Amino acid sequence: MIIVMKTEATESQVMAIQKHIRELGFKDHLIRGVERNVVAVLGAVYPELLDEFSVLDGVDSAVRISKPFKLASREVKEEDTIVKVGPLEIGNGRLVVMAGPCSVDTEENVMVAARAVKAAGAHMLRGGAFKPRTSPYAFRGHGEKGLKILAAARAETGLPIVTEVMDARDVDLVARYADVLQIGSRNMQNFSLLDEVGKAQKPVLLKRGMWATIEEWLLAAEYILSHGNRDVILCERGIRSHETATRFTFDITAIPLVKRLSHLPIIADPSHATGKWYLVPPIALAAVAAGVDGIIIEVHPNPDHALSDGAQSLTPANFEKLMGQVRTLAEAVGRPVAPPIEQPAKKAVKKAS
């Protein structure tokens, strides 16, 4: 941390700062400038110090010079983290595709969707059993019943499941069914929930808060990592800006920047970011070109009658078309699509009998 003194700061104010630094257990280092003096604070400073020093007498501002996240940082761990989800690897240089309905409605719809996305080449099934809704009057998900539907779809197709957990009390329940626990955008700083999934034995998909800086996002990952769960997948899903023509502003630059700052894998959610199905394919392709490790896409057999977010869901036919484009593009940028998931053995046995 660097403490910049005011041009008119007195010698005794500078000395008071130096004394305060030492009292807190840090080392100080004074640099005399042409216009003003600067005091460097050496040692393991924490973010809060910044504001605290910035209001002391004679201080103009305090400036942090190291990143506040450690475990999530590429400075601490240089090689890419590869998250294993059953037979799948996320972050190994091959593109992973997650797809499925926004919310789990009927078993039939989920089965149809699961078979369709599997047939088109998706590697994981997504679907919400617990749904965050802006209005208390909207459909909020089927809960455990929905989880069972997802599990049935996995049993048939072999696709691992990613599904959202919204409440620290539900982490155990959701972890019994899901392969990956999803933390939604609105819960990115629900610290109780982050603590709880940090203790779970399942990989976590951490969506970026629509208000969050990249640094705050990596700090949210740090919560999970600091509990010993090292399997965190980041997911860019759009931030708030002044633009209202799209639901959110997809921050494409976050992708290469996160890759540089962190070793964690990152995927893109163009469905929630854009809010319109016809914007999903171009943004999915853009994310692949920018270097994501995966994409997560809403697909519904009958979007016009979906219980939530039909407007942003692709039909199976549109998804299949997108998969073709993704395959070509992924190949072109040297990050080919991961091989398909094998049909579960159980099923093969049944056929044999």
Restricted to residues 5-24, the positions that interact with a second copy (CB under 8 A) are: 6-8, 20
| Site stretch for a second copy (CB under 8 A), options 121-129, 174-182, 270-278, 293-301 | 270-278
Residues binding a second copy: what is the number (CB under 8 A)?
111
194 touches 223 (CB < 8 A): yes
- Three-class SS state of 4: strand
**Residue from 200, 277, 295, 319 in contact with a second copy (CB under 8 A):** 277
Q: Tell me the C-alpha distance between 282 and 203, whole Å.
A: 28
Window 86-105: residues binding a second copy (CB under 8 A):
none
Note whether 268 and 315 are within 8 A (CB): no
327's tokens: 């395959």
* Contact indicator for 330, 288 with CB cutoff of 8 Å: yes
CA pair distance 148, 131, nearest whole angstrom:
16
Q: Which of residues 232-261 bind a second copy (CB under 8 A)?
A: 239-246, 249-257, 260
Task: For residue 342, give both structure tokens.
Answer: 């094998």
Backbone φ and ψ for 163, nearest 5 degrees, come out as: -150, 155
Q: Smaller CB distance to a second copy: residue 47 or 93?
A: 47
**Cβ 338 to a second copy, closest distance in Å?**
18
CA distance 340 to 237: 25
With binding defined as CB under 8 A, does residue 276 bind a second copy? yes
Binding segment toward a second copy, per CB under 8 A, in 85-93, 106-114, 148-156, 286-294 = 286-294
For a second copy, the binding residues in 180-209 under the rule CB under 8 A are: 186-187, 189-192, 209
Residue 210 contacts a second copy per CB under 8 A: yes
Q: Is residue 152 within a helix (H) or strand (E), and if so which, with residue range?
A: helix 144-157
Stretch that binds a second copy, among 29-37, 91-99, 151-159, 172-180 (CB under 8 A): 29-37
- Binding part of the chain for a second copy, among 39-47, 172-180, 294-302, 338-346 by CB under 8 A, reads 39-47
Positions 305 through 324 that interact with a second copy (CB under 8 A): 306, 308-312
Q: Report helix, strand or coil for 63.
A: strand
Pick between residue 109 and residue 308 the one whose CB is nearest to a second copy: 308
Conformation bin of residue 127: beta by default, left when phi > 0, alpha when psi is -120 to 50: left
Of residues 127 and 184, the one with the C-beta less far from a second copy: 184
